[in-house]
A and B are shown apart, each in its own frame.
Chain A
Amino acid sequence: MKQLVILSGKGGTGKTTVAAALAHLASQEMPIVLADADVDAANLELVLDPTKREELKFMGGQLAVIDPEKCTACGICAEVCRFDALIPGDEAYRIDSLACEGCASCFYQCPEEAIRMEEQQAGLWFRSDTRFGPLFHAHLFAGQENSGKLVTLVKQQARLRALDTGAAVVLVDGPPGIGCPVISASAGMDLALHIAEPTVAGVHGLERVMGTTGHFGVPSLVAINKADLNRARCEEIAAFCAGRGVEVVGRIPYDDVVTEAMVQGRPVTEYTDGPVTEALKEMWSRVRDLILSDGAGSVKEVQR
């Protein structure tokens, strides 16, 4: 069983579009399991039409809670809090639950023992079925911490299902950026497929996210989306990849059918034939060969 994560440093470059297309193409050839690791803005469900089989609570972490009866408004809690999470009051202090990071510093320092720590539900996660295979996805409540923990949970569940059912590939739709959810999404992956767009911001984002996956030892492949938008930037990405020994496995042209397919709630490869679908099919066959023929190992060798 192999695991592939789809990433991009910059947001909106087409991760989910590619993930949905690969889910469609891969599922025609082998059993797969899907995971949406963009837990604060999960979109894969919008094009895979999942049937939710199970909905579970995600307990993210804890928050401080003040008992106003016991609080004497001495202010020690506010002095020790580094996150500005205490709101002063004349008779009792209150906790700003969005600012509180659950460190419990106030809990240990409160002389009146007026503070307790409470576990908080930070989101939901789901086991679903789609026409391409099982999907594990989640919804982190707005502004919650611990997105990395929820990403790890969703990924682990997908992996366990794949091991149980003998699926060949786990396909993970990753979050944007380079921070904790991206690090969590990349951990243990056999390959990272970076979706880059040929813009100055896209090139910059690609460099940073490839730095991140490289730092954690995950080998990279690159696909350029909207490749015909700016040929010069496209070549810049290709040259950058060549310099790192990273293969560019696809160049997907700009086409409004991508948005049309999204509006119809379908993967673009399922919605229409045409240049975008052709490019995605070609890309999938290369990615499949690399990840299944223990290509992941050889990709890693090249990148060393």
Chain B
Amino acid sequence: MITTVASGKGGTGKTTVAVSLALSLAESASPANPLFLDCDVEEPNAALFLRPTIQERREVGQMIPEVDLEKCTYCGRCAEVCQYHAIAVVGEKVLVFPELCHGCGSCSLNCPTGAIHEVLDVIGTIERGWAGSVEFAQGTMNVGEPMAVPIIRQLKQWTIPLNPGNRPVILDASPGTACPVVESMRGADFVLMVTEPTPFGLHDLLLAVEGARDELGLLVGVVINREGVGDQGVDDYCATEDIPILMRIPLDRRIAEAYSDGGTLVEALPEYREQFKNLYVAIGRLVAGRKGGGAQ
């Protein structure tokens, strides 16, 4: 079962919840060793808490055009078909702008003289290994690169089995609701939204639900973190929208302090382990419910 942990607003506790969920499930290795993917490739920080041993590393990127000037006739067809202005023909020169290229391959497909082949432009790395009995993987975007989506896509392809079955697969997404978040949600069985009960938390939760439930058609549920700050807005919204609130984590300075030093919630307060296991069971029921007949 694939669960993506998202939030809309940053800093609401996505990584805290995702890591604690993985550690709680790993304890009994039930139903199987969890697989954890840090998909926040701009700021990957789950490794700071899980402290994995990395066993394999790959450079990733996208294919960008390289022009064979022997074959090129400077006809300009490549620049004409490129929707991103990533290739330009100026006199007897062909300029490629890798940071604008989406790696679609259209230029090479359309080149009438076969002068364009594609080479890998490295924009980040993907890594995998183990943190105790949690299988761990993360992507890291190189500083100065703009595009996170290709890294997330390749991280998922590399690590998520085609049919994960009962194995818990947990994806930690980046904040926001734009394309990297959508890529982290795509293919998930469930999106767990971690929010804080404040106007900012609610505002961004709304947008994230719009993306996950309304655009992608995925099941969603909410974890309210730092309960006790803020107001009733998130509760009211979830009631109106019929979104289940699956767990509540009270505001507790001990959690914040443990976090600040790289400690996890379930290490600081072990009594939460049971709650996270129950959370996973609740998600499982909702997913089974939809598969069993409630499919939309």
B141 in contact with A179 (CB, 8 Å):
yes
Please pick, from A80, A82, A199, the residue contacting B259 in the complex, using a CB distance under 8 A. A199
A82 in contact with B110 (CB, 8 Å):
no
- Distance to closest chain A CB from B4 (angstroms): 13
CB within 8 Å for A12 and B109 given contacts A143-B178, A176-B43, A176-B175:
no
Please pick, from B81, B144, B180, B198, the residue contacting A212 in the complex, using a CB distance under 8 A. B144
Across-interface contacts of B35 in A (CB, < 8 A): none
A104 in contact with B146 (CB, 8 Å):
no
A185-207 interface with B by 8 A CB criterion: 197-202, 204-205
CA distance A62 to B141 in the complex (A): 26
A208 in contact with B257 (CB, 8 Å):
no
Across-interface contacts of B24 in A (CB, < 8 A): none
Which of B126-134, B200-208, B285-293 lines the interface with chain A?
A: B200-208
B43 in contact with A145 (CB, 8 Å):
no
A34-81 interface with B by 8 A CB criterion: 38, 40-41, 43, 46, 61-62, 80
Across-interface contacts of B106 in A (CB, < 8 A): 80, 103-105, 108
A142 in contact with B215 (CB, 8 Å):
yes
- Distance to closest chain A CB from B102 (angstroms): 5
| Residue of B8, B10, B257 with most chain A CB atoms under a 10 A cut-off | B10
Across-interface contacts of B42 in A (CB, < 8 A): 9, 176-179, 182, 208
| Chain B binding surface, main DSSP class | loop
Q: Which residue of A lies closest to B8 (CB)?
A: A41
Judge whether B31 is part of the interface by a CB distance below 8 angstroms.
Answer: no
Interface size class of A (residues with CB under 8 A): 35 or more
Number of residues from B at the complex interface, CB < 8 A: 60
CA distance A259 to B197 in the complex (A): 10
CA distance A211 to B180 in the complex (A): 21
CB within 8 Å for A229 and B10 given contacts A9-B43, A105-B106:
no
Judge whether A298 is part of the interface by a CB distance below 8 angstroms.
Answer: no
Judge whether B176 is part of the interface by a CB distance below 8 angstroms.
Answer: yes
Across-interface contacts of A177 in B (CB, < 8 A): 40, 42-43, 148, 174-176
CA distance A11 to B208 in the complex (A): 15
CB within 8 Å for A103 and B102 given contacts A142-B211, A212-B144, A259-B230:
yes
Judge whether A180 is part of the interface by a CB distance below 8 angstroms.
Answer: yes
Judge whether B210 is part of the interface by a CB distance below 8 angstroms.
Answer: yes
A179 in contact with B145 (CB, 8 Å):
yes
- Distance to closest chain A CB from B121 (angstroms): 14
What 0/1 readout, one digit per residue, does chain B (206-242) give for beta carbons within 8 Å of chain A? 0110110011100000000000011100000000000
A41 in contact with B177 (CB, 8 Å):
yes
What 0/1 readout, one digit per residue, does chain A (204-218) give for beta carbons within 8 Å of chain B? 110011011001100
CA distance A117 to B106 in the complex (A): 14
- Distance to closest chain B CB from A272 (angstroms): 16
CA distance A265 to B198 in the complex (A): 10
B146 in contact with A179 (CB, 8 Å):
yes
| Residue of B12, B42, B198 with most chain A CB atoms under a 10 A cut-off | B42
- Distance to closest chain A CB from B293 (angstroms): 24
Across-interface contacts of B200 in A (CB, < 8 A): 16, 43, 46, 262
CA distance A212 to B142 in the complex (A): 9
- Distance to closest chain B CB from A122 (angstroms): 10
**8 closest Cβ pairs, A-B complex:** A11-B10, A12-B11, A103-B104, A142-B211, A11-B175, A180-B146, A177-B42, A230-B260
| With A105-B104, A105-B106, A230-B257 already in contact, 10 other A-B pairs whose C-beta atoms are closer than 8 Å | A83-B104, A98-B182, A102-B83, A108-B106, A143-B216, A176-B176, A178-B143, A197-B11, A208-B43, A209-B43
Residues of B at under 8 Å CB distance from A? Answer: 8-12, 15, 40, 42-43, 45, 48-49, 81, 83-84, 102-106, 109-110, 141, 143-148, 174-182, 186, 198-200, 203-204, 207-208, 210-211, 214-216, 229-231, 256-257, 259-262
